[in-house]
Amino acid sequence: MNAFVEPATMPGSGVTKGEVLLSVANVSLAFGGVKAITDISFDIRKGEIRAIIGPNGAGKTSMLNVINGFYHPQEGTITWRGKARRKMKPYEAASQGIARTFQNVALFKGMTTLDNIMTGRGLAMKKNFLWQCLHWGPALKEEIVHRHRVEEIIDFLEIQAIRKTPVGRLPYGLQKRVELARALAMEPELLLLDEPMAGMNLEEKEDMSRFILDVNQQFGTTIALIEHDMGVVMDLSDRVVVLDYGRKIADGIPEEVQKNQDVIDAYLGVPHEE
């Protein structure tokens, strides 16, 4: 489905389309006694939409938290752009081009849609404190340059009308969209989406699916997507990794995964042999 896209290389990244952008190898994560992730390995290739699926509590969100540096796995290595990554803070992962949205909307409630998205541009803005005090000259120019970028994203996601609305007042579906906008404002190389369509009606889901595909195809952004709706997963993703009780039980193209007996059992709740 990505057949029409010309091989894109994000500026500065050095990873070309189809190559491995991020890989996790033998990663395990435990919270005290609770094992959230056990010995999981998979990779994400540049330019693909990689779905991560699994029943509730399978460890999907924990996996994303590991990828963007929010949790630190006890074991395993993470390789980003071909280099093994040391333990890093979330803001460092962000500055290396990893953005995400959250399962439960995590917008800045007291700020307008515009300010939420502008915050996503923060890493790209360089003018120092003294210029900020003046809000004039180079600082104003910078602000306007980034405002233009943000307006492009606003147009892209069709949220012009709610620009100046405090996000706390928006309906849930729109909040999810603003959250996507904020992540896109970072111009990430890898975009992690944690259940972007949860709690949406059919129409909203269709819109969101279209946006995700457009982001992937127009900007060449690599996407890791957690989603429970199997229809959506089959339609959108290039490859799927399936987790269950913190372990990987399947990995491959959607058609294969759908037929896999372990996956069917996991979703039907067949008890474990052990």
Partner 1 sequence: MLYREAGQFKTTYDADQAIFPIAQDRWAVIAFAAIAFLVVPFFVNDYWTNAVLLPLLIYGLAALGLNILVGYCGQISLGTGGFMAVGAFASYKLMTSFPELNIAIVVLLSGGATALVGVMFGLPSLRIKGFYLAVATLAAQFFLVWLFNKVGWFYNYSATGQISVPERSIFGLVVTGPTAAPWVKYLFCLSFLALFGLIAKNVVRGRIGRNWMAIRDMDIAAELIGVRPLQTKLSAFAFSSFYVGMAGSLLFTIYLGAIEVTEVFGINVSFLVLFMVIIGGLGSILGSFLGATFLVLMPIFLKNFMVDGLGLLPVLAKHVEILLMGLLIMGFLIVEPHGLARMWQILKEKFRLWPFPY
Ligand X SMILES: Nc1ncnc2c1ncn2[C@@H]1O[C@H](COP(=O)(O)OP(=O)(O)OP(=O)(O)O)[C@@H](O)[C@H]1O
Cα dist. 36→59, 172, 227, 269 in Å? 5, 28, 18, 18
Considering the complex, what minimum distance in angstroms separates the CB of residue 166 from ligand X? Answer: 27
Considering the complex, what minimum distance in angstroms separates the CB of residue 233 from ligand X? Answer: 13
The window from 37-45, 73-81, 98-106, 196-204 that contacts Mg ion (CB under 5 A) reads 98-106
Give yes or no for residue 39 binding partner 1 (CB under 8 A). no
**Phi and psi angles of residue 53, each rounded to the nearest 5 degrees, phi first:** -125, 175
Beta strands in the chain (DSSP E): 20-31, 34-45, 49-53, 75-80, 83-84, 98-101, 190-194, 222-226, 239-244, 247-252
Question: What's the chain's length in residues?
Answer: 274
Give yes or no for residue 101 binding ligand X (CB under 6 A). no
Give yes or no for residue 139 binding partner 1 (CB under 8 A). yes
- Choose among partner 1, ligand X, Mg ion, none what residue 62 binds, the Cβ cut-off being 5 to 8 Å by kind: ligand X
Site string for ligand X, 52-71 (x = CB under 6 A): --x-xxxxxxx---------
Give yes or no for residue 62 binding Mg ion (CB under 5 A). no
The window from 57-65, 154-162, 165-173, 249-257 that contacts Mg ion (CB under 5 A) reads 57-65
- Choose among ligand X, partner 1, Mg ion, none what residue 130 binds, the Cβ cut-off being 5 to 8 Å by kind: none
Structure tokens at 60: 């999907």
- Choose among partner 1, ligand X, Mg ion, none what residue 58 binds, the Cβ cut-off being 5 to 8 Å by kind: ligand X
Which residues lie below 8 Å from residue 96, measured CB to CB, with a gap of 6+?
80, 189
- Choose among partner 1, ligand X, Mg ion, none what residue 76 binds, the Cβ cut-off being 5 to 8 Å by kind: none
Position among 22, 40, 61, 232 found at the interface with Mg ion (CB under 5 A): 61
Distance CA 114, CA 162 (A): 8
Number of residues that bind partner 1 (CB under 8 A): 41
Which of 173, 189, 210, 224 has its CA nearest to residue 81?
A: 189
- Cβ proximity to partner 1, 187 vs 227, nearer residue: 187
**Phi and psi angles of residue 31, each rounded to the nearest 5 degrees, phi first:** -110, 100
The angle subtended at Cα 21 by Cα 55 and Cα 154, nearest 5°, is 75
Considering the complex, what minimum distance in angstroms separates the CB of residue 58 from Mg ion? Answer: 8
Distance CA 242, CA 237 (A): 13
- Cβ proximity to Mg ion, 104 vs 128, nearer residue: 104
**Token pair 């896109």: residue:** 184
Site string for partner 1, 93-132 (x = CB under 8 A): xxx---xx-x---xxxxxx---x--xxx-xx-x-x-x--x
Cα dist. 92→69, 80, 86, 265 in Å? 8, 13, 11, 39
Provide the binding-site residues for ligand X, judged by CB under 6 A.
31, 34, 36, 54, 56-62, 103
